[in-house]
Structure 1
Amino acid sequence: MKNNLQKPTSLPLFCLLIGGILFINFSAFGQTEAPEETTFWLWQFLGRLHPLIVHFPIALLVVAALMELLTSKRYNLKLRPGTKILATIGAMSAILAAPIGWLLATNEGTSGELLDLHQWIGIGTAVLSVFTLYFLSKIPRRPSRSQIKVFRSFLFLTAICVSIAGHFGGSLTHGEDFLTEVLPYESNEQEIEKTPINLVTYQSELTPDKEMKLIGEVRMVLAHNCYKCHSGAKIEGELRLDEKEFVFAGGENGQILIPGNPGKSEIIRRINLRKNHDDVMPSKGKLLSKDERELLSLWIAKGAPWPDGAAQQSVYRVAELAPRNPTLPAYKAGLDNPIDLWVDQYFLKNKLEWKGLVDDKTYLRRIYLDVTGMIPSPQELDEFRNDPRPDKRSIWLQDLLNQSDEYATHWLTFWNDALRNDYTGTGYITNGRYNITDWLYTSLRENKPYDQFVKELLNPTEKSKGFIEGIKWRGTVNASQRTEMQAAQNVGQVILGLNLKCASCHDSFISDWKLEESYAFANIFADSTLEVSRCEVPTGKMAKTKILWEELGDIDSAANRAEKLRQLADRLVQPANGRMYRTIVNRVWKQLMGRGMVEPVDEMDNEPWSQDLLDWLASDFVENGYDLKALIYQIASSKIYQSQSIGYESYDEVLADDYKFNGMVRRRMTAEQFSDAVSEIVYPLFPDDAIKYNPFELQQPELSKPSFARASLVANNPFLTALGRPNREIVSTSRDAQGSLLQALELTNGERLNTALQKGAEKWKTQLSDPVQITEELYLKALNRKPNEKELTIAKEALGANPGVAQIQDLFWAVILLPEFQMVE
């Protein structure tokens, strides 16, 4: 018996015996129950050896497979003994790891779909390991090609299987995104999925609509932060958070929340613990943000409302798709612009008073910044003030709009953000991302009609294809972020004011959109039919091919991709699609007035503060040939645009559901506007070689190149990022309106600004020496006014009789940090 056991053939027989035992033991997989308190300690101890033992087969089998590849042409090289040892030990470890893993799963109370995948692939690895050992033991000293081929096939399959099992094991212990969260795109992924939380909305008594919105945001927080360990895919601690009954049932430690009492709710205690605390949740990955923690606390304080599934049907507001052209209110003296008639009607209904018109200086500065992105010069302001024409404001506004290159350069920033177009960045290296700047700039300069603009984005030319191609360098990040779904999400967000991100993974928590509808829309952008995946799990169901609204027409599901895109472009831009034109009108209104009629601008199903004004403006936009410049003129020539602006302590008040429109919202300059103002007044912030797109290189002899590099034409950098330019690897339709510590540090200690102000001071010193002249010149250029007596006195004291470079630089700094300089009022 002793001699027989030493023969190689006894090893596979032993392994087959172990394999048979494994099949008996694992027959209950997928039905794992929580451990009872009487569980024998030894089984728990052995189970917890699984992570230690499982690393042997992963490493050894993979190395054995690689060594086998190195000897693919000559089997009997010196590496052969090492390969046999590695394969033998690795296969035996894989077989041993399987029952120990079963003990771990049984005694630790872990379950879910992810565990099931890991277990069954682990079983497969063990079975393949048995065959690998068997055929390895059967190979003679001089094997035939067929014997070698069979052994290698099983070895390679085993190595692949153990690698996949290891990946799922890592996902179980470290979270499903453990491997991907460090990749360049992963931080953007979080940004794509998460939407801003406005807690002010829920502070007052909850209306039914507010309650549904609160529940949707709570579920989004749970989905983003908790589902990786507490959902149907994986259940740790007997806790699931993806359905109402499980949330309120709690987990192995009892209830996790007490409605009405966040202070005694376990979930609130845990999410507020420090990063490395044993009880902190989430235990892996990023902690919840301050707003997310406060949202969950507020939800519980409000009684933790969560309606039954049936109650969630058709409770969300759905905006009308068809256009609507309401009859204008009766003419009223002094209100010549139709916009003002609608605003006046709104003011009367809400008992609000018109504010006075701004003076010439404020209006000119306002339209210059909004149309061209620049500050008017002192000479232009003098000319405007001395213009005797009664309609000079409208005339000057139209003249600015006629400055096509200045207009295009400024509005390029808005569209670059929205269409995620940038000059550099990840993706260009691998040719998986396409720049559309030339097409975009030309379209703006020519004032291309918006319907044609959208058609060329959806049914693209070579120059405009970058928007809907998805970000191919990211590949299929996951099922809800494959490139076709990215295209559907981007088109839905930018063109239609629709959020499909939630419904790309499962039925939406915040709207009535369903997963199948998102896939049907994404299928338009696909070369072949997509399979629907729910929460990253393939369903086996193939997607249909449909526009989100059947009223807009059908898409031929049998057509190729190019034809489907042509059909989509034709269907979406038709006048019957009132939603598309309300969306662009709302975006332009926000750019000029500081807040959209609907907020957020990507959620066009939300109620506008004036449905009539929104509908009329969208219809008028269509009737006037989809002319974006005419739309800007319509808004900027209105009395309400020319009225005094409104300041708010917090931007949350502007976004609140009970917001009352009372005029233009005072806002900060964009990063590009601030940079251009400093470059023009003091010294260029960006050298000419920083320009990544130069429209002046086009063969247009009538163009006069500016004396500095416009910020909209340069690549993103730490200075512009600090001042609010977003990462354009994702769609950005609104910039953060709040100041930040990073901005304060950059403006007071940043090297780029410091250098520009220092060089500017050196230049000014060679031209001006009198402190009064320096002060007055700076105030006129930066603030479009002369300093008052008090300001002049302070400046003279700071500059001294013979100002040096450092003193002039300090004066620059003091002026450009003034709210009067940085705000669009």
Structure 2
Amino acid sequence: MTVLTESFWLWQFLGRLHPLIVHFPVGLLCVALLLEIIGWSRKSDEMRAGIKALVWIGAISSVVAAAFGLILVNQEEYGGNTVTVHQWSGLATMALALLTVFALRTRRTLLYRSLLFLTVFGVTIAGHYGALLTHGEDYLTSVLPFGPEAEPANSTSPNLAFISTTSQSLTEKQIEDLNLEVRSILAHNCYSCHSATKTKGELRLDKKELLFKGGENGPILKAGHPESSDIIRRVKLPAGHDDAMPTKGKRLTANEIAVLEFWIKQGAPWPSGSEKSIYRVAELAPRMPAIPAATGDLTNPIDRFVNVYFQQHKISWKAPVDDRTYLRRVYLDVIGLLPTPEQIQAFTADSRPDKRALLVTDLLNQNENYAQHWLTFWNDALRNDYTGTGYITKGRFDITKWLYTSLKTNKPYNQFVRELLNPTEESSGFIKGIKWRGTINSSQSTEMQAAQNVAQVFLGLNLKCASCHDSFISDWKLADAYAFANVFSDTTLEIHRCDKPTGKLADRRILFKELGTISGEAPTPERLRQLAEFMVQPKDGRLYRTLVNRIWAQLMGRGLVEPVDVMDNAPWSQDLLDWLASDFTANGYNIKRLMTQILTSKTYQLPSISVKDPEMLTAPTYVFEGMVRRRMSAEQFADAVSLAFSPMYADSSLAEKLLPETIKKEIPFPRASLVKNDRFLTALGRPNRETVSTSRTSQANLLQALELTNGAKFNIALKQGALAWQTKYPAADDLVRELYWKALGRPPQPKELAVAEKIVGKKPSIEGIQDLVWAISLHPEFQLIN
């Protein structure tokens, strides 16, 4: 959908009609329900024709509204749980509306009335969350007497406990903590209107001298006298008052106002010298912490760091997973395939004490399988796809051959990055981005895309906000983003703020000046060479921390730092992150060696942890206890079905180009990573790769359920496989046992065997085999990596 909405004005216009269209079915369906209740109470059918028309028009309008909503969510910067609930409740409402029409047509009165009631309930829920999106999370609660503004002033940061206890002058450290808190409050509530980006009323609050100067109405604070300070008066005014601040969005809490009052009462102290950032900024330089002492069988350095962490959090080590679980886990993580029944039986029978380490070595030496699996991860991160915007007009081209070869040969990561930043013809598709057709926003120029993508992928840094205006979520400025984008440009870029030219020309520099100085007058190839050499230096600790964090997240389900694209966030173990990055640098930038360390650790072998609420993974209170249980990726699922039952894809032109004849003969089916995106893979989570995607959600969703239930691709594969299995296994007992071994790596339990034989029939039928395979493929034991 994003392919359609990025540049064509008509799609943008239709998307913005979503709020208008959505009120049409809401009103009509509600009126239909009201008339239905009136007619039922009167036992009259005189309004039946009108009700029928309203239901039909409402249902059709709900489909249009859902379509426009999907367009809108892809062209605007919506995100978070609210938009997810709104989107899926809207789609569910559409489905209910269509079912209501069906029930009405078939004259199933009781079902029709029940569905109509559920539909109106659905549009109420969807409408509520839509209002939260447009008016803010506190749209309803902000007007209630017990809403967020009634928050008690006792929830101050622990660093500011002195606010309610001290009556003496503050120490230098207390002044610094207080000032940092005040500036954080101003940044999150006031900078959108009173900063360098936007200066309403000639008032800026982002600099000391400008804050004390005040705006067009004079000073806003009087040191020592909060009761006489206009800023306090304004933030205390009720919402809707002409002078109330902020004018839009969330109001300051009672606790935040108390902090501002205390700060002013103390004389509005502001530490001298350079202003400390209000945001956490991770160290750039590498650091090699000492490895904790070994304890018992905890000899792997990773386990020794984790052991210290467990002791600090009073967590006990659990017994490692059994051989079958470990085998399946490591097969899927390294080569993306299920182990065969023969491999499972051989491994579980192996009595060698180091068999798990030997298994890891063997899998990592399967270079073709390894490359085909990890191609998926790097395709997502590097925006490398085989279809999509730009390919027809030659404004985009893939880097698949270069990437595949790099993975197969385990190219050292510093060289891998060097060849992407200072590219050859085969690897230049990454930084050249997508050349959109027609007029585009300046923040999406090819050069700015290069800057954003390089910062995100290699440094775990978000430059997207700073590509349009000074960032509200970090210290990065518009000038920083343009200076970095200018490194990739053949001409000198003019800075645009919110897509409006400023008349200022950008300079050329790397994001972190400690790494080196770009020659501004040098031609583009030379600048890119300099950039590449500066970025891959061992002293660029951020580059290598970002990489090891990404690999850890892929293998463990959650990064040491989360989100993985926000490397300024605090890791759950700073020592482990620093050691992994420094050890990686000291040992040849070898990704497979890094994986070996993780895969052979006791930490990786711990039982997986189930997380009910995905937001817990990014919460500051997250505590590591082991690998997070996760769902197979779209490609892993497709390959698992192909290997266990029937090929999902018949051919792949990429496989023909990339794989040598000897390898192609050994592969019974095309791997999903080498096929073009389609509806099936999209439903199961493959992104369109119009933007960088460094992680995929592991949560099941309605779209996935619908595709696995009614999708043509999956059903065709099941039917073709059923035909072959019916011929090969005429006896139900043999068929079921073989299917369980191939799909789940174990024989069926007696009850499972009885149920499965009942499904397929004594003489297996095509439909019965399809039903059984469908049931197994949707089973958590098949879909989850435990």
> What per-residue deviation string (whole Å, max 9, x for no partner) do you get for residues 3-46 of structure 1?
xxxxxxxxxxxxxxxxxxxxxxxxxxxxxxxxxxxxxxxxxxxx
**Within-5 A mapping of 1:172-251:** 190=76, 207=157
Aligned partner of 1:566: which letter? R
**In the aligned structure 2, how far is the partner of 1:547 from the partner of 1:380?**
50
**In the aligned structure 1, how far is the partner of 2:395 from the partner of 2:462?**
25
> What per-residue deviation string (whole Å, max 9, x for no partner) do you get for residues 63-101 of structure 1?
xxxxxxxxxxxxxxxxxxxxxxxxxxxxxxxxxxxxxxx
**In the aligned structure 1, how far is the partner of 2:704 from the partner of 2:771?**
18
> What per-residue deviation string (whole Å, max 9, x for no partner) do you get for residues 77-136 of structure 1?
xxxxxxxxxxxxxxxxxxxxxxxxxxxxxxxxxxxxxxxxxxxxxxxxxxxxxxxxxxxx
Which sits farther off after the overlay, 793-802 or 420-429?
Answer: 793-802
**Within-5 A mapping of 1:374-453:** 374-453=337-416
Kindly indicate whether the alpha-carbon contact (under 8 Å) linking 1:409 and 1:441 is maintained by their aligned counterparts in 2: yes
Instruction: Report the Cα offset of residue 736 of structure 1.
Output: 1.6
Instruction: Report the Cα offset of residue 789 of structure 1.
Output: 1.8
Could you say what secondary structure the match of 1:606 adopts? coil
Aligned to 1:716: 677
How has the CA–CA distance of structure 1 residues 695 and 604 changed in structure 2, closer, same or farther, with 3 Å as cutoff?
farther
How has the CA–CA distance of structure 1 residues 604 and 198 changed in structure 2, closer, same or farther, with 3 Å as cutoff?
farther
Aligned partner of 1:819: which letter? P
**In the aligned structure 2, how far is the partner of 1:636 from the partner of 1:231?**
58
Aligned to 2:736: 775
1:485 counterpart = 2:448 = yes
Aligned partner of 1:777: which letter? E
**Within-5 A mapping of 1:639-788:** 639-688=602-651, 691-694=652-655, 698-699=659-660, 701=662, 704-788=665-749
Could you say what secondary structure the match of 1:614 adopts? helix
Kindly indicate whether the alpha-carbon contact (under 8 Å) linking 1:434 and 1:466 is maintained by their aligned counterparts in 2: yes
**In the aligned structure 2, how far is the partner of 1:721 from the partner of 1:195?**
20
Could you say what secondary structure the match of 1:539 adopts? strand
Aligned to 2:583: 620
Kindly indicate whether the alpha-carbon contact (under 8 Å) linking 2:237 and 2:245 is maintained by their aligned counterparts in 1: no
**Within-5 A mapping of 1:302-381:** 314-381=277-344
How has the CA–CA distance of structure 1 residues 631 and 362 changed in structure 2, closer, same or farther, with 3 Å as cutoff?
same
Which sits farther off after the overlay, 703-712 or 299-308?
Answer: 299-308
Give the CA RMSD over aligned residues. 3.7
Could you say what secondary structure the match of 2:609 adopts? coil
Kindly indicate whether the alpha-carbon contact (under 8 Å) linking 1:676 and 1:711 is maintained by their aligned counterparts in 2: yes
Aligned to 1:583: 546
Kindly indicate whether the alpha-carbon contact (under 8 Å) linking 2:344 and 2:745 is maintained by their aligned counterparts in 1: yes
1:506 counterpart = 2:506 = no
Kindly indicate whether the alpha-carbon contact (under 8 Å) linking 2:235 and 2:257 is maintained by their aligned counterparts in 1: no
**Within-5 A mapping of 1:141-152:** none
Instruction: Report the Cα offset of residue 196 of structure 1.
Output: 7.9
Instruction: Report the Cα offset of residue 766 of structure 1.
Output: 0.8
Could you say what secondary structure the match of 2:654 adopts? coil
Aligned to 1:473: 436
Aligned to 1:791: 752
1:805 counterpart = 2:766 = yes
Q: Give TM-score scaled by structure 2 length.
A: 0.69
Aligned partner of 1:488: which letter? A
Could you say what secondary structure the match of 1:382 adopts? helix
Aligned to 1:818: 779
How has the CA–CA distance of structure 1 residues 219 and 525 changed in structure 2, closer, same or farther, with 3 Å as cutoff?
farther
Aligned to 2:56: none
Aligned partner of 1:484: which letter? E
User: Structure 1: which 5+ residue stretches go unaligned?
Assistant: 1-180, 233-242, 260-265, 269-295
Instruction: Report the Cα offset of residue 473 of structure 1.
Output: 2.5
- Out of 604, 628, 641, the position equivalent to 2:567 is 604
Kindly indicate whether the alpha-carbon contact (under 8 Å) linking 1:401 and 1:407 is maintained by their aligned counterparts in 2: yes
Kindly indicate whether the alpha-carbon contact (under 8 Å) linking 1:772 and 1:796 is maintained by their aligned counterparts in 2: yes
How has the CA–CA distance of structure 1 residues 248 and 714 changed in structure 2, closer, same or farther, with 3 Å as cutoff?
farther
**In the aligned structure 2, how far is the partner of 1:803 from the partner of 1:210?**
70
Percent identity among equivalent residues? 54
- Out of 472, 479, 487, the position equivalent to 1:516 is 479
Q: Give TM-score scaled by structure 1 length.
A: 0.66
Aligned partner of 1:764: which letter? W
Q: What is the number of equivalent residue pairs in this alignment? A: 592
> What per-residue deviation string (whole Å, max 9, x for no partner) do you get for residues 588-637 of structure 1?
00000000000011110100000000000001111110011111111111
Instruction: Report the Cα offset of residue 539 of structure 1.
Output: 1.9
Aligned partner of 2:745: which letter? N
Could you say what secondary structure the match of 1:693 adopts? helix
How has the CA–CA distance of structure 1 residues 715 and 742 changed in structure 2, closer, same or farther, with 3 Å as cutoff?
same
**In the aligned structure 2, how far is the partner of 1:256 from the partner of 1:796?**
74
How has the CA–CA distance of structure 1 residues 802 and 661 changed in structure 2, closer, same or farther, with 3 Å as cutoff?
same
How has the CA–CA distance of structure 1 residues 780 and 256 changed in structure 2, closer, same or farther, with 3 Å as cutoff?
farther
Instruction: Report the Cα offset of residue 253 of structure 1.
Output: 6.3
**In the aligned structure 1, how far is the partner of 2:335 from the partner of 2:417?**
23
Could you say what secondary structure the match of 1:540 adopts? strand
User: Structure 2: which 5+ residue stretches go unaligned?
Assistant: 1-66, 85-136, 139-147, 160-179, 203-219, 221-229
How has the CA–CA distance of structure 1 residues 561 and 393 changed in structure 2, closer, same or farther, with 3 Å as cutoff?
same
Kindly indicate whether the alpha-carbon contact (under 8 Å) linking 2:320 and 2:607 is maintained by their aligned counterparts in 1: yes
Kindly indicate whether the alpha-carbon contact (under 8 Å) linking 2:320 and 2:605 is maintained by their aligned counterparts in 1: yes
How has the CA–CA distance of structure 1 residues 816 and 247 changed in structure 2, closer, same or farther, with 3 Å as cutoff?
farther
**In the aligned structure 2, how far is the partner of 1:250 from the partner of 1:477?**
42
How has the CA–CA distance of structure 1 residues 348 and 251 changed in structure 2, closer, same or farther, with 3 Å as cutoff?
closer
Runs of at least 4 residues off by over 3 Å: 184-191, 193-199, 201-220, 243-259, 299-313, 695-705
**Within-5 A mapping of 1:133-148:** none
Could you say what secondary structure the match of 2:436 adopts? helix
Aligned partner of 1:525: which letter? F
Kindly indicate whether the alpha-carbon contact (under 8 Å) linking 1:423 and 1:693 is maintained by their aligned counterparts in 2: no
Could you say what secondary structure the match of 1:758 adopts? helix
